[in-house]
Homo-oligomer: A and B are copies of this chain.
Amino acid sequence: MDKLVLLPGPVMVHEDVLLRSAKQVMNHRSEEFEEILSECIELAKYLFQTDGNVAVITGSGTAGMEAAIYSLVEPDEPVVSVVNGKFGARFADIAERRGADVHRVEFEWGEAADPKAVDEALSETGASVVTVVQSETSTTVLNPVKEIADVCKDHDAYLVVDAVSSLGGVEFRMDEWGVDVCVTGSQKVLGCPPGLALVAVSDEALERMKEVEAGSYYLDLVKYFEYLEEDPMQTPYTPAVNAFYALHEALKKLKEEGLESRWERYKRLQEVVREGIRAMGLDLFVEDDSIASPTVTGVVYPEGVDDREFRGRILRDKYDVVVAGGQDHLAGKIFRIGHMGDVKLRDMITAVTCVGMGMLELGVDVDVGAAVERMAEVVAGS
């Protein structure tokens, strides 16, 4: 492998999954494909922890977000959007493009959403739909979806969750928590190539979608669910057949590992990274462990370290390690280490160690030895 890619998506793909995607294309309206599609849907229900409905769309996670909003929300309808990062803002923008009357509940980038503020916004606006991102990839913050779902229940509002970079990597229980619509992507925790969005919809939300004329033709979720009832089961438009092969393999791997085991494994990866970074003397962007995402960790650049120099010339070109920069106003201020997909403990150790060595090259006073010792303790204790 050329580079160790530790982005918060797309992620490195296991060879079993990659090779499956190189299988010859088949008829997407056949019993053969039905077998793959139906197993993907069943496995996805396990992933979402729902007995409801799951559709798979050929497109990016953003396509899934748009499908959710354009199928559920009507023009001029008041919508409350939690905005504490780039993807929360995107949800609001999509709802606005749909013509909804969007009320943004904003928090500083790096802070978690406060359910009380959502409660107040719902009281003020009477909105019937709330959007929130579970793992805000841009800030590495984990939002309290369960608590926000409780608030939504009090106001009889539908909750739409972007779990694109979190689902499968952190606790999420769609039915138990009462989430109405949830979106995820193939290229994050699932460890597939990018190209598919998975959207879960509760029975109640589906009933509502049937009454709304979707704002999109391609992304009309009701049509996806109708085609799942066909014989053979199918998608309304030609699906990325090869991406489904990969998804099928990846979801089987996830089931085999077990959701809760994977949540635990990600917590350990996260702990190794966070403790290693702290021990060497660098600052985490999200200091509070309880609101830090288990799929991506943000590190604050020390004064004077140039992003391109550090991530490009040193980490990528010398160490063959690829991490992400900051987005929007965080560009140049933080870098982000993804720990999702097919990553191992050793990859985290490599990342932290190379980060330290790169910082040393740039004259930053970090204690890489302390980082390695601390990581050893974390691993030993687990």
Chain A residues engaging chain B, CB cutoff 8 angstroms:
1-3, 5, 7, 9-13, 18-19, 21-28, 30, 58-63, 65-66, 70, 90, 93-94, 97, 185, 187, 193-195, 213-219, 236-243, 322
Contacts and interface: CB of A to CB of B under 8 A. Distances in A.
Given A59-B218, A194-B238, A242-B195, A27 B322 contact: yes
Contact of A216 (B12, B193, B216, B243): B216
Contacts of A3: 26-27
Listed from nearest, the 6 A-B pairs whose CB atoms lie closest are A195-B240, A22-B22, A60-B237, A193-B242, A62-B237, A97-B217
Contacts of A12: 24-25
A2 B26 CA distance: 10
A193 B241 contact: yes
Nearest to A216: B216
A239 B62 contact: no
Contact of A25 (B10, B24, B28): B10
Contacts of A213: 97
A67 to B, nearest CB: 9
Contacts of A25: 5, 10-13, 187, 193-194
Contact of A10 (B18, B28, B185, B187): B28
How often does this chain occur in the complex, in copies? 2
A24 B11 contact: no
A7 B26 CA distance: 9
A216 B59 CA distance: 14
27 contacts: A2-B24, A3-B26, A5-B24, A10-B27, A10-B28, A18-B23, A21-B242, A25-B194, A27-B322, A28-B194, A58-B60, A58-B195, A60-B240, A62-B238, A63-B63, A63-B218, A97-B217, A193-B240, A194-B240, A195-B195, A195-B239, A195-B242, A240-B240, A240-B243, A242-B242, A242-B243, A243-B243
Nearest to A17: B22
B187 A61 contact: no
A11 B241 CA distance: 11
Contact of A59 (B7, B18, B63, B322): B63
Given A60-B238, A195-B58, A66 B21 contact: no
Nearest to A64: B218
Contacts of A194: 25, 28, 58, 238-242
B238 A187 contact: yes
Contacts of A58: 58-60, 63, 194-195
Contacts of A90: 217
B216 A60 contact: no
Contact of A18 (B11, B22, B60, B61): B22
B217 A94 contact: yes
A64 to B, nearest CB: 9
A150 to B, nearest CB: 29
Contacts of A19: 22
Contacts of A28: 10, 194
A22 to B, nearest CB: 4
Nearest to A62: B237
Contact of A238 (B61, B93, B219): B61
